[in-house]
Structure 1
């Protein structure tokens, strides 16, 4: 049945898969879900979103363009995924639920970040664009608040430091497989999570 509004609430700490990518021998990105490894959680989370979305909105199918309001509640204010990347993981799950045909239908979106240590979750509201419009405004505060300051992460600082050829050789010689812990040879491994996770091709073939 068509609808002009839906609300979806999925409990649990929101996660993103944008920084964790594995590629098969053909160079195609894959998202394993039954390898028994840590990164299975991304595919499992996507399926959880699909099941919850469908259960909370039975028979709802949006076929037109949509306005989305997404509120993400993290457990920790200091450690959580980038909110700008979280939407992809969520809408992939929403698309899988069948409530929307394709995430390209989301033409306007507002994303808000909150913190709830006891009840982390996301709340998503979808509005049919033929029935609703979106208005927002930004106003200067009469009473200024305390700035929320962000500092460069250690990883970003390390990326900006140029390594000498000898440093690169030394670093690569210490790499080991995340599964079997054996030293890795140049070109004989698969990298993921922006290079943080390395898996030898032998373990990769066994797992996937």
Structure 2
């Protein structure tokens, strides 16, 4: 039955395909399914999405261009996959379910990231473009919240430090450090060292944290 709306809710921590790909001897990417190893986990997750999407939307097929609203709920604010990589994992399973014809139908996508340690999941709503349009706005908060600060993974720190040093040379301030948050040079006694002295935050950014 051709329908004009579908909603899918999949419980459990969302995972991304990029963490589970292997390569064969020819260098071609493969996705294990029944090796009995940890890497089977993604293929099983994709099958779970396909099965539950079909059960939640029986006899439903969306065959036109779509607007997708995706809400992802993680257990932790920092320890989770890249949300930008999650969409491929999800839509591969949705396409396999037969709910949509091809994931190329998704022409507009809004992703929101939330946290629910007791009930991690994702919620996906699909609307046909012929009947719906989407509007959004960015509004400044009346009272700023405490920012969620991210630090680069270990394999990228050296590259970032090198870029920071180049910026300092270009600015003509080789004796200053760069603020970890705003990126501006920090003169002596105008910042706070963090991460055991490996990086710094300027006084203005430090005050905003509290």
Give the TM-score category using the shorter length: 0.7 to 0.9
Match of 1:7 in 2: 7
Match of 1:24 in 2: 24
Distance 2:62 2:108 in 1: 15
SS of 1:130's partner is coil
Match of 2:112 in 1: 112
Structure 1 unaligned runs (5+)?
163-208
Give TM-score, length-normalised by structure 2: 0.73
State the structure with bigger RCO (CA 8 A, min sep 6), 1 or 2: 1
Match of 1:39 in 2: 39
Q: 2:121 aligned with 1:149, yes or no?
A: no
Give TM-score, length-normalised by structure 1: 0.74
Match of 1:100 in 2: 100
Structure 2 unaligned runs (5+)?
163-210
SS of 1:18's partner is helix
- Between stretches 23-32 and 57-66, larger displacement belongs to 23-32
Match of 2:61 in 1: 61
Distance 1:44 1:55 in 2: 16
Structure possessing the higher radius of gyration over alpha carbons = 2
Aligned residues: 162
Offset, 1:48: 0.3
Q: Deviations over 1:147-203 (max 9, x none)?
A: 2211112232256689xxxxxxxxxxxxxxxxxxxxxxxxxxxxxxxxxxxxxxxxx
